[in-house]
């Protein structure tokens, strides 16, 4: 698996986004980007998909450590967190597993930072 996943029931899509941002903040993450994939697909392809937002989450302390160890790691930042409507009464949240995404980089010190971020993102998803 390359994501941590949680299905939320009894919560609107907008509430799920707000809750995800709130829990991310408690773990030191800010949201740098917010991509409305549903709106983009409609505007670019006239395709209809369920509500789908990608949050680009960044923990500045961890990002700084990673950049000191591997300057090109910025190509893999921020950590993406998906909030999507499953059209079955649930909203699913998926957070990238940074250990899986950093596996291509041969840098043991960076892997240690990725493990720390992995722990934080796992906690975020569990607390939703």
Q: Please tell me the predicted confidence (pLDDT) of residue 36.
A: 98
Q: Please tell me the predicted confidence (pLDDT) of residue 78.
A: 96
Q: Please tell me the predicted confidence (pLDDT) of residue 46.
A: 98
* List of domains in the chain: 3-127 (3.30.310.70)
Q: Please tell me the predicted confidence (pLDDT) of residue 80.
A: 98
16, two tokens: 């799920």
Q: Which runs of E-coded beta strand occur in the chain? A: 3-9, 30-36, 52-58, 79-85, 90-96
Q: Please tell me the predicted confidence (pLDDT) of residue 42.
A: 98
Distance CA 80, CA 3 (A): 10
CA distances from 30 to 14, 79, 90, 109 (A): 18, 10, 25, 24
Q: Please tell me the predicted confidence (pLDDT) of residue 9.
A: 95
Phi, psi of 20 (to 5 degrees): -60, -45
Q: Within 10 Å of residue 93's Cβ, how many Cβ atoms?
A: 23
Q: Judge whether 111 and 102 are in contact, CB under 8 Å.
A: yes
Distance CA 105, CA 122 (A): 21
Q: Please tell me the predicted confidence (pLDDT) of residue 74.
A: 94
Residue-level pLDDT, tens digit, the chain, 128 residues: 899 999 999 999 999 999 999 999 999 999 999 999 999 999 999 999 999 999 999 999 999 999 999 999 999 999 999 999 999 999 999 999 999 999 989 999 999 999 999 999 999 999 99
**Tokens 């392809």 sit on residue:** 45
Q: Please tell me the predicted confidence (pLDDT) of residue 55.
A: 98
């Amino acid at each position: 698996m390359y994501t941590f996943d949680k299905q939320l029931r009894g919560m609107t899509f907008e509430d799920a986004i707000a809750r995800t941002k709130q829990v991310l903040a408690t773990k030191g993450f800010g949201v740098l980007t917010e991509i409305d994939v549903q709106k983009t697909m409609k505007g670019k392809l006239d395709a209809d998909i369920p509500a789908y937002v990608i949050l680009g989450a960044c923990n500045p302390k961890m990002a700084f450590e990673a950049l000191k160890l591997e300057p090109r790691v910025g190509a893999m930042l921020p950590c993406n967190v998906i909030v999507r409507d499953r059209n079955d009464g649930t909203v699913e949240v998926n957070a990238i597993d940074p250990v899986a995404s950093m596996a291509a980089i041969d840098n043991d010190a960076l892997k240690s930072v990725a493990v720390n971020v992995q722990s934080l993102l796992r906690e975020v998803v569990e607390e939703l």
